[in-house]
Structure 1
Amino acid sequence: MRRVLAILPYVPLPSDTGGTLRTLELVRALASRFSLDVFAVHRAGNDAEGFKRWLGELGIPASRLHLVDLPRVAPEETLNSTRAFLRGTPLTYVRFARQGVQDALRRVLAERGPFDIIHFDHLHMAQLLPVARQLNPSAHLVIDEHNVESQLLARMAPLSPPPMRPFLKWQFKRVERLERECVRQADTVLACSSVDAEQLRAMGAKRVQVVPNGVKLPDFEPRESKGDDLVFVGSMDWWPNEDAVLLLAREVWPLVSSDLSTSKLMVVGRSPPASVRALENERLVVTGSVPSVAPYLARALATAIPLRAGSGTRLKVLEAAAAGVPVVATRLAVEGLPVVEGQHVLLAESPEEFAIALRRLRKDPDLCSRLAQNARRMAESFAWDGIGAGLGELYLNAVSVSGEGEKRSGAEAN
């Protein structure tokens, strides 16, 4: 059986963000098809014991989970991090390439290697690609780009508060440089959509494969009747979601709240900041973390997604589609998904356009049904089981191609 090492920037439990959901499902796919080891950075709030049990249920023993803590920074680590920062490492990336993390990875590669494939989850962990190349030169190295990170920053900068813009522009230049370096070094780069794939190829990635985000269809059965509420789902500690919620609450909701007189605006997702908590009133509910978003979607008239920054693809769109909830969204919010205006979603860019679309849904149950049915059919092509099977085939083919290349090189050398 082929051997895979997955390198993660977090323990993906609780799986309450789009990123952790993707990570968890791809780890599940790898565990079912390969001999898998997992190397994960353990941060405060991660459920390491739960993840260990979850892996055990998949047949991965605890000895194959390798955790490295991000403790308080020792003086020598502060010096090393400062040096990395001065050499150009983006500020929020420095801690994932600390000497302690590198040393822990070196130990795993020395004691557990060699591996056929090394899977780097997020650009943050791809900084460690040279370590893997040095100690396991025969491995096929893969980066899973959840977003095109430099593009995400480029989109955030002009929307951020003026005092933050110089920092984000400065950070963008560093992230873009790091991203170009990493995707050029990788043997394969995974992208969430064809849109992201083209951008990664333009950066110089040698081989880019689309492995889309997905949805667990059994968790989101289509509803038999529509609800009343307007729902936004997303992790509130991700700035683009916070920006979208503030716009929705301050500029869209006042235009439609009287027309949707029996509705509430439900803001569903973990870690709402003070700016979002301050919006609460009897008709605007901020839930914080919830066990499942499915019950909130089941009671929804629609989900409104006025997203103005982002990259990758939005799991919130796929979940709403799977649940049969009409989606009103910006073009950016549905970027990379095979949706057609008026067939799967309603598109809106301004608060006024969002209001018009939401009023249409309130008045036209046939439109709601048509959107819901078409979107559900679209979502069915994004089931995680199928995506996982595709990833397994992709990795088996990649190893076969690498093996043939090594045989040819050896024959030529002889």
Structure 2
Amino acid sequence: MRVALFTETYLPHINGVVTHVKSLKDGLEKLGHEVLVVTADATSRKHYIAKGILHCPAHTSKRFYGYGVAMPLSTTRLKLISQFNPDIIHIHNEFGIGLSGIMIAKILHTPLVYTLHTMYDEYIYYVAPAALAGASTKISHKYIHMLANSANALTGPSKKCEEYFRKVGVYNKPVNVIPNPVDLDTFNAANIQEDRKKAFREKFNYTDNMTIAVFVGRLGREKSVDILLDYWAQTIGPQEDIKLLIIGDGPCKEELEEQSRQLGIDPMVTFAGKVMHDEIPPYFACCDFYITASTSDTNSISMLEGMAMGLPVLQITDPLNEGQVKDNINGYIFKDAQDMYDKILKIKNMSPQELDKLKKSTRESVENSGAVNLAQYVLQVYDGAIQEQTHRKHRLKIWRPKKIAAKRIGLKKWRKNKYETKL
């Protein structure tokens, strides 16, 4: 099968969508399928294909972390994709490249799959002032509704995506929930050498008796790191040797650093800033658990990567992501500051045997989340989309002649009635 994956961002950029698309590409290719990634490239002045990637000229968007945004219309892009002759077009973003995928699928009569990765209601503040948030949200709902109706099949990494599709008015299509993937080889604690762990601890002045919590993600309001800091200040004292490591950058980084200082917890909180994706495993290897208060994530890849490293997760209550974290299996759910503190102490006070058991079961909980597993799940969706497209074409063959005939009959009746009225 030939598959064209449309994504606004791709390597060397790193985010959840990029990681998902890269894993899907790798998995499909391991299973013998041919993949073309279509992406925006702000460094390119013309369309070209290299190493299975169609680079599309784009301009840099400062609002979206310097990612490229491409125009949706391009005859060159259409020509190159026509030559690739995809059996499936699969879009992963909603902007220029995503729109391009929809239009090209329609022109080529190719089945279209749409994966929703982002709960856009949580991100409206990036593009609209507070006064226009309500109107912008309504517009975004109509836009997502249009994209969904254009697709033969819908997917998303959690139940939250299905709820969002229903929220924007998409009721007539099933949503295939396919959890995000994780690179099980890269994120494996057994592959991290002791000297790299030691270098990490020395870098941040962490001693062996400290308990280290870690969060990885974009530092925007939707990640709710401010809630973590508030909870930390309410319950944890410096004498307890419990530290919080925050990895990532974003529009709220300075604001969060100031909040940490204002709360008086800055000696307990480390802002590591941006860390390259392939450098994160040693950080995880020296931490004791992953923690998040975000309810905007659909199926956080950073969290899954932490779990692959054996880090149990402390996650704030999030009903639509229920089941991702299971108490005593791969972490614990907390509902408020005191509950968070109690769960931290539970992990901190575990015996080495208890902790090893929890870490092992945490790793096991994501061992079916590799690239090949993802590809196998998605291939089932592709087969369904191809069948739906075939049925749709069959319905059109029947419907169109009937419609034309109905129009002709209606026209004859109108002419007859008009003539009789005149008489």
Same fold (TM over 0.5): yes
Q: How far has the Cα of 1:209 moved from its partner?
A: 1.9
Q: 2:269 matched to which residue of 1?
A: 284
- Which ranges of structure 2 fall in alignment gaps of 5 or more residues? 195-207, 402-423
**Alpha-carbon contact 2:41-2:55 (below 8 Å) kept:** no
Instruction: Show the 5 A alignment for 1:259-270.
Output: 260-261=240-241, 263-270=242-249
Tell me what 1:88 maps to: none
Q: Residue 329 of structure 1 aligns to a residue in which SS?
A: strand
Equivalent position of 2:71 in the other structure? 101
Structure 1 counterpart of 2:229, one-letter code:
A
> Which amino acid in the other structure matches residue 175 of structure 1?
S
**Aligned alpha-carbon RMSD (Å):** 3.8
Of 351-360 and 27-36, deviating more is 27-36
Match of 1:3 in 2: 2
Amino acid of the structure 2 residue aligned with 1:135: I
Alignment check: 8 A CA contact 2:156 2:175 kept? yes
Q: Which of the residues 334, 346, 358 maps onto 2:332? A: 346
User: Which whole-Å CA distance do the structure 2 matches of 1:24 and 1:205 have between them?
Assistant: 30
Aligned residue type for 2:341: A
Distance 1:25 1:238 in 2: 25
Between 1:343-352 and 1:232-241, the stretch displaced more is 232-241
TM-score by length of 1: 0.74
Q: Which residue of 296, 309, 312 corresponds with 2:283? A: 296
The 5-angstrom pairing of residues 202-213 of structure 1 reads 203-204=170-171, 206-213=173-180
Correspondence 1:141 to 2:112: yes
C-alpha deviation, 1:210, in angstroms: 2.2
Task: Give 1:194 deviation, angstroms.
Answer: 3.4
Q: Given the superposition, is the C-alpha separation of residues 214 and 71 from structure 1 closer, same or farther in structure 2, using an over 3 Å criterion?
A: closer
After superposition, the C-alpha distances for 1:251-279 in whole angstroms (9 at most, x for unaligned) are 31552233532x43211124472123444
Q: Which whole-Å deviations, capped at 9, do the CAs of 1:152-172 have from their partners, x for residues lacking one?
A: 45xx88xx9xx9643333322
Relative distance call for 1:31 and 1:68 in structure 2 (3 A) is farther
Judge conservation of contact 2:285–2:309 (CA < 8 Å) in 1.
Answer: yes
* Change over 3 Å in CA distance of 1:396–1:275 after alignment to 2: same
Larger radius of gyration: 2
CA distance in 2, matches of 1:174, 1:382: 35
In structure 1, give the amino acid aligned to 2:175: V
Change (3 A) 1:198 1:334: closer
Distance 1:221 1:333 in 2: 29
TM-score, scaled relative to structure 2 = 0.73
Number of aligned residues: 366
Report if the CA contact (8 A) 1:212-1:382 is conserved.
yes
2:229 is matched with 249
The secondary structure found in structure 2 opposite 1:218 is coil
Report what 1:172 is aligned to: 137
**1:50-89 → structure 2 map (5 Å cutoff):** 56=51, 60=52, 65-70=54-59
State which of 26, 32, 36 in structure 1 corresponds to 2:24.
26
The SS at the match of 2:290 is strand
SS at match of 2:338: helix
- Secondary structure in 2 aligned to 1:379? coil
Alignment counterpart, residue 159 of structure 2, candidates 194, 217, 235: 194
Question: 1:219 aligned to 2:221?
Answer: no
Q: CA deviation at 1:34?
A: 3.4
| Matched residue SS, 1:122 | coil
Q: 2-side partners of 1:362 and 1:72: how far apart? A: 43
Q: Which runs of 5+ in 1 are unaligned?
A: 74-90
Are 2:301 and 1:319 aligned?
no
One-letter amino acid matched to 1:115: P
Contact kept, 8 Å, 1:220 with 1:323, in 2: the verdict is yes
Q: Is the 1:180–1:203 Cα contact (8 Å) retained in structure 2?
A: yes
Alignment partner of 1:131 out of 100, 103, 109: 103
Contact 2:105 2:111 in 1 (8 A): no
The superposition leaves residues 160-205 of structure 1 with CA deviations (integer Å, 9 ceiling, x where unpaired) of 9xx9643333322111111112112211111112342354256235
